[in-house]
Amino acid sequence: MTECVQCGADVTLHDDAEVGEIVDCTTCGAELEVVERTPPVLDRAPELEEDWGE
Amino acid sequence: MQIGLLYSRIRKDEKLLLAELRERGHEVVKIDVRDLQLALDEAPEILSGLDLVVDRCLATSRSLYATKFCEAYGVPVVNSAETAQTCADKVQNSLALAQSGVPTPATDVAFTKESAMESIESFGYPCVLKPVVGSWGRLMAKIDSRSAAEAILEHKATLGHYEHKVFYVQEFVDKPGRDIRVLAADGEPLSAMVRSSDHWLTNAAKGAETDAFELDAEAEKLVEQASDAVGGGLLGIDLMEVGGESESDYTVHEVNHTVEFKALNETTETDVPAEVVDWLEAKADEADEETKHEVVA
């Protein structure tokens, strides 16, 4: 378990969480990026860019 | 095999791929492109010893340059930089399809508001204005009137990035409330679905409903042609039914080069990540054979 960098609420990662994956904070709704798995470290997810996705 | 995965965000698609690769015993090196420094003469250490690199960059710009550098370093990469270049830009994509004789919607490209307005008027209303780069149905405009056209052109010219001053005007295809997404590996369809919506945009990212779709011979032929037209690879090929749902009459409006497949995996019975990894294994073997051949030669 770690905490949301935006609101400080507890965030629990799934067992299969990957570095680079985006998780939502269920308390404030912030999109968070998994930066480290063990121990879990989260950062704010990058903003959507215009050239993303297919 | 040792496989590199270029990424900057791990979506469900990448998680499915990673799980399948690891389950088969392959060693996966995750390469976050945000950490890379790509010199002209020497590959970064993280790219050394890889049998194959899979480009899963979320951002088109990163995909274009990262694949180009991999090829410059002699590191086998899928999809190729050529395919990425052609698919990343709707203008090049349309040109490649048209030049290969693949049916594709009538399209004009214009560089000023005035010339774009002439194109729009010649297509008539409704017609469609698309950004040359972009996905998930963003910034797409269905233009129903001259006044709407004037407003959108003004906004794009004034507010947009310079690429929005390249006006990509397309005929409106009156599809039967759905389009078709085909995942294909070097022209061979792996899985296909229809995306249906009451909205004129039927992207899965816009919330369209998805159902499995059985391709007929004509659609299979077009998928192969469209794949060849852009240089092959693992592609998402989008088709629309121009003769209604019952006619085998299609137009190919787009080919995507870092295709997302989670919706396909959930919609169809195909084990999509397994099919993709089968193809990756074959591509790695091909690359290995080529390397051996070069060494002998």
Q: Per-residue pLDDT tens for B234-279?
A: 999 999 999 888 888 999 999 999 999 999 999 999 999 999 999 9
Q: Which residues contact B244 (CB under 8 A, 6 or more apart)?
A: B176
* pLDDT surpasses 90 at A49: no
User: What's residue B172's pLDDT?
Assistant: 97
User: What's residue B206's pLDDT?
Assistant: 84
Q: Mark yes or no for CB contact A49/B18 under 8 Å.
A: no
Task: Identify the closest residue of chain A to B6 by CA–CA distance.
Answer: A20
Q: Per-residue pLDDT tens for B104-161?
A: 999 999 999 999 999 999 999 999 999 999 888 899 999 999 999 999 999 999 988 8
Q: Which residues of B touch A18 (CB under 8 A)?
A: 10, 14-15, 18, 30
ipTM score of the complex?
Answer: 0.90
Distance from CA of B123 to the nearest CA of A (A): 27
Other CB atoms within a 10 A radius of the CB of residue B52 amount to 23
pLDDT confidence band for B297 (50 / 70 / 90): low
User: What's residue B270's pLDDT?
Assistant: 97
By the 8 A CB rule, do B256 and A54 touch?
Answer: yes
* pLDDT surpasses 90 at B74: yes
> Whole-angstrom Cα distance, residue B42 to residue B270?
40
Q: Which residues contact B159 (CB under 8 A, 6 or more apart)?
A: none
Report the length, in residues, of chain A.
54
B10, B60, B260 ranked by CB distance to A18: nearest: B10
Q: Which residues contact B48 (CB under 8 A, 6 or more apart)?
A: none
Q: Give B212's strand partners.
A: B193
